[in-house]
Amino acid sequence: MGYMTNDDHGIQNALSGFTTGTPYPYHQFINCILGYLLSFFYRMLPQIQWWYVMSILCMLTGIYYMYRNWLILCRTEDAGRIMTYLPIAFCSFFLWPYYLSRSAFTVVPAIFTLGFLTSLLLPGKGRIRIRDILIPCLACLFGSLIRYETGMVLACYLSLCVFYYCVREEGWNRKMVAALVVYLVVFGASFLGCHQYDKYVASQTETDEFREFNRGRIQYMDYPRL
């Protein structure tokens, strides 16, 4: 029931067209690029609540990769069965059901992206592979489209994981430095480009009257005690 009482319900109403009568790709909490994509799906198959489906699929994907990489690590380190399966059982029964039932857009990108980040922490393969870095970068970029603030935090964790991965695979040499520079330039440009475009679109759709109204809405609806 948490899904029906949080901001995700409002996002879904906007994207699906419940509020405006037709699928609307803009919402202040998410990136317009994601809004374009989901509003397209709502136009094609309006019977499906695509925002909710996307949220659940993202979390399940992140959980799958966490479990997958944990099992790989335990097998590599020759951990016992208790050490291997007890954390999985605990998370499956006590942690993930809570977040899956709420499906909050503040948590979805974190679970989704962290699942891919764990791939960078697995035992080394002896060399830097573009795929090993590219996939977590794409996951982090997609997560930031769901929530910018969460994406910023995840980008910091991603950078630390990439740094660890490059040093572990190559040691301190020119190839490691070159890989880090390429990562910072390409990922940084992609991240900033997506969100600068979102700011540009927002500046075209959010008038001064809307901003003034929204400040009042935040004070009296989101934080009524202020």
User: Which residue do the tokens 């509003």 mark?
Assistant: 39
Torsion sign across C-alpha atoms 182, 188, 191, 193: negative
The confidence score (pLDDT) of residue 147 equals: 93
The confidence score (pLDDT) of residue 127 equals: 82
CA angle 155, 156, 158 (to 5 degrees): 60
**pTM score, two decimals?**
0.85
Nearest to 51 by CA among 20, 18, 21: 18
Burial pattern 211-226, b for ≥16 Cβ within 10 A else e, equals eeeeeeeeeeeeeeee
The confidence score (pLDDT) of residue 7 equals: 80
Structure tokens belonging to residue 73:
């690590």
Burial pattern 82-106, b for ≥16 Cβ within 10 A else e, equals eeeeeeeeeeeeeebeebbebbbbe
| pLDDT < 70 regions, the chain | 1-6, 206-226
Using one digit for the tens of pLDDT, what is the confidence trace for 162-184? 999 988 888 888 888 888 999 99
The confidence score (pLDDT) of residue 100 equals: 92
On the CB side of 3, CA atoms within 13 Å amount to 16
The confidence score (pLDDT) of residue 208 equals: 63
Using one digit for the tens of pLDDT, what is the confidence trace for 93-111? 999 999 998 888 989 999 9
On the CB side of 58, CA atoms within 13 Å amount to 26
User: Which residue do the tokens 């208790």 mark?
Assistant: 82
